[in-house]
């Protein structure tokens, strides 16, 4: 197994001296006051040792993924989980059962539309919607609990690309500013984002660009701009891995909730098949864009994250297809979109 590549082009063990702290600050544009810098440098050095220890195991084949230094390396596990993760997913059930039958389990699919659902029985060996030009560029949510907005936009972006042959980033900031239920300290919900988009439509990211903080909703002021409306969207709960594979294959990118740990293993991920521990459950919304099998015969999901391109595999994650992380518990997707006004 090859040695781990790092952001400085060498082995992680080389980066424990003082000069590397300055390299790190320059690379990721880190600026601190004197008291803060001492604290962050100490955390950075502690995390560096964790990365080095993990990558030593990776080189011996004891673990299936490697870690690297990135913009999160100067934060503690507690800080990262508080900034990026939400603590529960139960509100999704409440929101969706307000005007539908009670939420069920065991593989049911709830629909917001009276249309029949597509046939999703066909299974294939692999699919990667990135290779089919149906996934927009990786974005960074910055230090905000806005992963749900990027997933909502990603679901609709995929359908626009697949059905209308147009690859266009949609506005996550519009969702943040205008969607009911979003709170900056608690996060938001994919299903609320889809509900908002159904009623109001999503503008493009160019027309309503991402800033991060929640602000006054400015959607109504852009009356002459094109908007994307989901006209048929669903939530699938507790489905099988095979059914999820079929959804991705037949429909396109879908939203899922990862059950993640308070430990920062996912934040340090740099490549390979992720298989981190789960000690305390937190939730993080991501876009599932495909699946495949590696040379050892291990099946894995291909996931687009919203932590920028300097995290993971150019912003992507590969994760073992064993449902250890609750991927099949909450699946969000649409099967049709409209673009209005029509050209």
Q: Which residues are catalytic?
A: 147, 284, 305
Burial (CB count within 10 angstroms: exposed 0-12, middle 13-18, buried 19+), residue 194: buried
What is the C-alpha to C-alpha distance for residues 148 and 89, in angstroms, rounded to an integer?
A: 12
Among residues 260, 269, 258, 248, the alpha carbon closest in space to that of 314 is found at 269
Q: What is the Cα 294 distance to its own chain's centre?
A: 22
Burial (CB count within 10 angstroms: exposed 0-12, middle 13-18, buried 19+), residue 154: buried
What is the C-alpha to C-alpha distance for residues 294 and 20, in angstroms, rounded to an integer?
A: 35
What is the C-alpha to C-alpha distance for residues 173 and 306, in angstroms, rounded to an integer?
A: 14
Dihedral angle of Cα 335, 104, 201, 287, to the nearest 10 degrees? -70
Beta bridge partners of 284: 258
CB contact at 8 A, 242 and 123: yes
Positive or negative, the CA dihedral 163, 166, 168, 174 is negative
If phi > 0 it is left, if psi is from -120 to 50 it is alpha, else beta; for residue 162 that is alpha
Neighbours of 323 (CB within 10 A): 14
In this structure, the chain runs to a length of: 343
List the structure tokens of 280. 């305390």
């Amino acid at each position: 197994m090859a040695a781990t590549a790092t952001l400085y082009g060498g082995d992680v063990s080389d980066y424990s001296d003082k000069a590397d702290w300055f390299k790190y600050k320059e690379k990721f544009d880190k600026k601190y006051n004197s008291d803060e810098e001492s604290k962050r440098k100490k955390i950075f050095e502690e995390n560096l040792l964790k990365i080095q220890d993990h990558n030593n195991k990776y080189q011996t084949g004891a673990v299936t993924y490697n870690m690297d230094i990135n913009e999160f390396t100067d934060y503690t596990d507690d800080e990262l989980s508080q900034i990026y993760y939400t603590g529960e997913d139960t509100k999704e059930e409440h929101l969706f059962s307000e005007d539908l039958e009670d939420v069920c389990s065991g593989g049911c699919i709830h629909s917001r539309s009276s249309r029949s659902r597509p046939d999703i029985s066909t299974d294939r060996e692999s699919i990667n919607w990135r290779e089919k030009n149906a996934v927009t560029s990786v974005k960074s949510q910055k230090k905000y609990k806005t992963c749900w907005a990027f997933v909502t936009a990603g679901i609709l972006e995929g359908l626009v690309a697949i059905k209308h042959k147009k690859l266009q980033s949609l506005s996550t900031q519009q969702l943040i500013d205008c969607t009911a239920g979003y709170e900056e300290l608690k996060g938001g919900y994919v299903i609320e984002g889809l509900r908002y988009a159904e009623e109001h439509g999503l503008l493009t990211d160019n027309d309503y660009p991402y800033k991060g903080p929640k602000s006054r909703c400015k959607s109504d002021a852009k009356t002459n701009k094109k908007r994307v409306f989901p006209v048929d969207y669903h939530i699938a709960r507790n489905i099988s891995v095979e059914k999820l594979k079929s959804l991705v294959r037949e429909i396109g990118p879908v939203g899922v909730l990862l059950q993640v740990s308070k430990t920062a293993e996912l934040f340090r991920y740099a490549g390979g098949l992720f298989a981190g521990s789960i000690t305390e459950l937190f939730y993080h919304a991501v876009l599932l864009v495909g699946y495949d099998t590696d040379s050892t015969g291990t099946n894995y999901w291909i996931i687009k994250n919203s932590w920028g391109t300097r995290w993971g595999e150019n912003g992507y994650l590969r994760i073992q297809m064993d449902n250890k992380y609750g991927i099949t518990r909450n699946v969000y997707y649409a099967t049709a979109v409209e673009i209005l006004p029509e050209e």
